[in-house]
Amino acid sequence: MATTEFGHTVRRWRDRVSPEAAGLPVGGHRRAAGLRREELALLAGISVDYVTRLEQGRAVNPSEQVVEALGRALRLSGAEREHLFHVAGLMPPGRGTVPAYITPSVQRMLDRLTGTPVAVSDATWTLLLANPMYVALMGEYRGNERNAVWRHFLGSGSRVRHTKESLEALESAQVSGLRATASRYPADQRLRRLVAEMRANSERFAELWDSGTVGRHEASRKTIDHPQVGALTLDCDVLSVAGSDLRIMIYTAEPGTEDAERLELLAVVGTQKLASRPA
């Protein structure tokens, strides 16, 4: 019965979240004030079909990662998040695991950056939240691709254009950062599995991990090859949230430049598909 209760809970809480509150563009006729399943799936980084099966009680045993992602997308309080884990038949993550909870205050701050590509990742560089502008700029990441380290060493990479020097700096920063996170959260089994998979399947990752490479993410300028608006060179800043070990990545353009114009164009052509989806 827990799975059925889980589905009912997700549906009930989906109905109370407006697209405006979730930072989504609003357009077209809507039969209900809450989020559509497609919108919840986008925010949580899972498929629409899976959201449907969860709500209808046809999918069993949602993973901790899925429950966490749904909790963020539904803007749950700390107590509501714990309840969602319990009705899923899971224990909420405890101390010693990588934090993945985005507080309502941080969420409200992000909601105000609607015209700016913004993404939030945990200490393993797993994507927790991406606003529509970030998705429009970088594309949608699902499954293992939501982890930037896995995506770079084992997956499809990203739209960012790299020089040899910037690529080496990125790899050193990713591996060094992941090692530091593993030392802070030795009890996190998901992190241990991620590192083991990376070492087993990427010679480059294993080489850097074993060599003890040292690096860190710094503010930089990145060129993104976008399939619709062309290349954009943007400033990329990474902010840390005190007490939560979260990373906020923000892309901005220098005012009055061609890059700023292309970013404004992206705000129209890159996000309009969300507003035009049927209910």
Please report which confidence band the pLDDT of residue 277 belongs to, taking 50, 70 and 90 as the band edges: very low
Structure tokens that stand for 240 in this block: 């840390």
pLDDT at 217 over 80: no
- What is the percentage of the chain residues whose pLDDT exceeds 90? 47
Q: What is the mean pLDDT of the chain?
A: 87
The pLDDT tens digits for 117-155 are 999 999 999 999 888 899 999 998 988 999 999 999 999
Residue 225: the pLDDT is 95
Domains in the chain, ordered, with CATH? 2-24+33-92 (1.10.260.40), 106-273 (3.30.450.180)
Residue 192: the pLDDT is 94
Residue 43: the pLDDT is 86
pTM: 0.73
Residue 159: the pLDDT is 95
With contact defined as beta carbons under 8 Å apart, do 133 and 115 qualify?
yes
Q: Which of 45-49, 85-89, 91-95, 124-128 has the lowest mean pLDDT?
A: 91-95
